[in-house]
Amino acid sequence: MSDTALPGARPSRRGFRFFAWRNRLARSRAFQSFAARTPVLRGIAKSEGAALFDLVAGFCHSQVLRAVVELGLLDILLEEARTPAALARMARLSEDRMALLLRAATALGLTETARGGAYRTSRRGAALLGVPGLPEMIRHHDILYRDLADPVAFLRGETEPALAAFWPYVFGAGGAAEPDVKARYSALMADSQALVAEETLRTVSFSGCRHLMDVGGGTGVFLSAVLSDYPSLAGTLVDLPGVAEAARARFDTAGQGGRVRLASADFRTDPLPGGADAVSLVRVLYDHSDETVAALLAKVHSALPPGGRLVVSEPMSGGARPERAGDAYFALYCAAMGTGRARSRAEIAAHLGQAGFDKIEAPTVRRPFVTGIVTARKTV
């Protein structure tokens, strides 16, 4: 589970010399030209060059994506191809700017050309529409983009990120938060929670559990999915007042109302209810500081009986092997929120061990960009 090299392990001087030589070579414009002309090296030079250009152009690519989603082009072109002229009138853009956007979207694989100069949604674009909550998250990114407009100032802590104001529940605003902010938070989380539930249930079995307590469970998307897969399971949902109550309609609609207890509580200040032999923390820990995480895990440990299980499911850092989702996206997002951070599996395991859990495991997930998972048991 370790994220770091073994204590005392150091790269050899030979290794240092190799990396220095490699980097000087890669930096050399003469070698770059040589590699581009040499059959054995040409493929590597091309792929590295393309990857480097994607990094340079990444902001433009994300803005093309946002414009396409904001204008609803993928929905409009899902089943019927249209020309730039027809779309320009609908979007109140000039025809040449609409053509520019469609060519860019096609280059990114979101749309594709059709007969007569028309465009239609591509397979990738259609798949984007099918990911729960993804279009809404893309629209929501305008806040993150503003927060990262000056990345150096952001990293130095010289800015006041707007995301910190968007997520007031993290700072304990709870019932004091504006109703429309609560609604935006709940809707955004609920829409995107379906994929997390799907990936978690594919990886973790709740067989043998009789009662699952979902702490910080929002409007009940995850708990409802578990109850659907395990008809004999009972559940308790714990979240802030108002948020937990909003889950009642979901459970009633699914015919699960009689199997669920709603507990309105702030897990930072209130005790957790007992009675469950399994607890889930789904996209909870990465919202909070190490101190809050330690206190919460201690409460979870106290609430579980011997043999009780804990499942942590959320985006995670790659640790010693950084990953794009956890380290180049969620880590920055958490930093902009002003609290919490994307932790590695080993860091989460260390917190679990300190709280008294053992039999800690990190099962492999199929889609780590959706979620990572760590499980543990309370044996004493």
Q: What pLDDT sits at residue 27?
A: 84
CATH topology of domain 13-130: Arc Repressor Mutant, subunit A (1.10.10)
* pLDDT at residue 222 in the model: 95
Segments of the chain with pLDDT less than 70: 1-13, 15, 167-186
User: What local confidence, expressed as pLDDT, does residue 355 receive?
Assistant: 97
pLDDT of residue 31: 85
Does CATH place domain 151-377 in 2.30.30.100? no
Length of the chain counted residue by residue: 380
Please choose, from the candidates 342, 287, 341, 340, the residue with its C-alpha nearest in 3D space to the C-alpha of residue 318: 342
Burial per residue of 53-79, b for 16 or more beta-carbon CB atoms within 10 angstroms, e otherwise: eeeeeeeeeeebbbbbbebebbebbee
- The predicted structure's pLDDT at residue 12: 64
Token readout for 284 is 């909870």
Quote the pLDDT of residue 178: 58
139/160 Cα distance (integer angstroms): 21
> Hey, where are the domains in the chain?
13-130, 151-377
